[in-house]
Amino acid sequence: MFRDIRTGKIDCVVAYKIDRLTRSMKDFFELMDLFDQYGVNFISTTQSFDSATATGRLMRNILLSFAQFEREMTADRTRDKLQQRAEKGLWNGGYTPYGYGREDKKLVIIPEETARVQFMFREFALSPSLAELRDKLNRREWFTRAGKRWGKPSVDNILRNPVYCGKIKFKESVYEGIHESIIDETVFNKVQSTRRTISHGDSKMKRPYLLKGMLRCNDCGSIMTPHYTRKRRSDGTPYQIPYYRCTKTMHFNNKICSIKSLNADKIEQAIIDDLHKLSQNEVYLNMCIEETNKDLQKRSLPILAESKDVERRIQQIEKEISRFVDALGKGTISVERLEQEIEKREVDQKKLQEELYLLKQKITTDVVEDFNGEIVKHALRNFRSSFSALPPTDQAETLQCIVRDVNVSKDKLTLNIFELAEFTPSSKNRPDRLLG
């Protein structure tokens, strides 16, 4: 709606009531400013007020104030009700915890799932490792309620949930629940205490990851996220090795992906080398651009064919209208019949014209425009010298602007690059560099 207002397609917004548009006074006045800026009227079909007069605007503001007051009172009453239910030990709804079912808005135990929850707490208390516990559950084929394999986050959520020891948590407070507990409170507290004593030290690495969010594994389909591992040299001094790891291997296990992880230093250097080679090999660059434009044209063929079919149907309707007009001149049909037939066809013609407009717009904006090879060549010229002059943080931003993503396979890397302008040794120029 906002987009259509700014392009002049809308001159009036109609709502059943003023609070169907918004119940926030701040939002409403911002909307009114937008409407006034583009000459758009606002009408409430069930509330009569004239916003052109001071009295009408006062009435409008009073109605809106009551609408906002009603919204806030409803929210307050809902929070109070949930608070009271929690204090009484009643479950407040939402996702039903694994191990329980619902009867009359209350939690009831499901024996089969209960045994598995008890197994989780017992095993974690003995060996506090989410990965080991996840593997034990999956090896036994004790899958989630949806029939999927367990991941570490879902197991962790169960181990942290006080509902299993008969408690109800609301906001930051925990209350005694009326439902039957699955885990003894002593065991639950031991698991929480075990989790708190585990320390991983400094979880961050000081180096920037230049390809963060851009690497996608073709084997498991997940994004590869930054990680590092600690090693020790022969003299005992520690050091860190950065790498990118498939996200699915974090949630499940390494067997789910054959690629698993990539050394960060090697993959980043490989991408930089490829971009440098690309900048020096104009023949190869021209070939890549030509192939890209062929793909774009190929994608446009179905839409072009559809638009031609719509144009043909419009022309057919125009011919039918002309035949009816000719028939009126010959006296073979009446004026009333002519009006009915033309009205029917004009409705169909209008729909087809709207459809044709959208198709042509899609062809113009998304498909037919050629990939601008000259811009890419200009941006990649002297890539290595320009890139090496940047500080690490700016290098990461620069690659974000040049590389759309990198598909990682066992035997190759596939770079998808943006159509972009020249970059300079400053991250402040990023908005000017990113064009496509």
Question: Which tokens in the block code for residue 30?
Answer: 């911002």
pLDDT digit string, tens, across residues 122-169: 999 888 888 889 888 988 888 888 888 888 888 999 999 999 998 998
SS3 state of residue 165:
helix
Question: What residue has token string 């002297």?
Answer: 382
Given a contact cutoff of 8 angstroms between Cβ atoms, the answer to whether 42 and 32 are in contact is yes
Q: What is the pLDDT along the chain (436 residues), one digit of tens a residue?
A: 888 888 888 888 888 887 788 877 778 878 888 888 888 888 888 877 666 677 777 777 787 787 778 878 888 888 888 888 888 888 888 788 999 998 888 899 998 899 999 999 999 988 888 888 988 898 888 888 888 888 888 899 999 999 999 899 888 888 898 999 999 988 898 888 876 544 444 445 677 888 888 898 888 888 888 888 888 888 878 888 898 988 888 777 777 788 888 888 888 888 888 888 777 777 766 776 676 666 666 666 777 788 888 888 888 888 888 887 777 777 777 777 778 888 888 888 888 888 887 777 766 655 444 555 566 666 566 676 777 788 888 888 878 877 888 888 888 888 887 654 344 444 343 333 332 2
Question: Which tokens in the block code for residue 172?
Answer: 């930051």
pLDDT digit string, tens, across residues 19-34: 788 877 778 878 888 8
Q: What's the pLDDT at 130?
A: 87
What is the rounded CA–CA span in Å between residue 393 and residue 342?
66
DSSP-H helix ranges across 24-139:
25-37, 54-87, 111-126, 130-139
The residues near 281 (Cβ < 8 Å, ≥ 6 apart) are none
**pTM of structure:** 0.44
Given a contact cutoff of 8 angstroms between Cβ atoms, the answer to whether 333 and 324 are in contact is yes
Largest CA distance in the chain: 108
Neighbours of 137 (CB within 10 A): 20
Given a contact cutoff of 8 angstroms between Cβ atoms, the answer to whether 403 and 417 are in contact is yes
Phi, psi for residue 174 in degrees, rounded to 5: -125, 130
Segment holding 417, helix H or strand E:
strand 413-417
pLDDT digit string, tens, across residues 328-337: 777 777 777 7
pLDDT digit string, tens, across residues 295-317: 666 666 777 788 888 888 888 88
CA angle 125, 126, 129 (to 5 degrees): 75
Strands (E), 196-326: 215-217, 224-232, 238-246, 261-263
Burial class (CB in 10 A: 0-12, 13-18, 19+), 217: buried
DSSP 193: H
| CA-derived radius of gyration, the chain | 32
Q: What is the DSSP string of 350-396?
A: HHHHHHHHHHHHHIIIIISSPP-HHHHHHHHTTHHHHHHTS-HHHHH
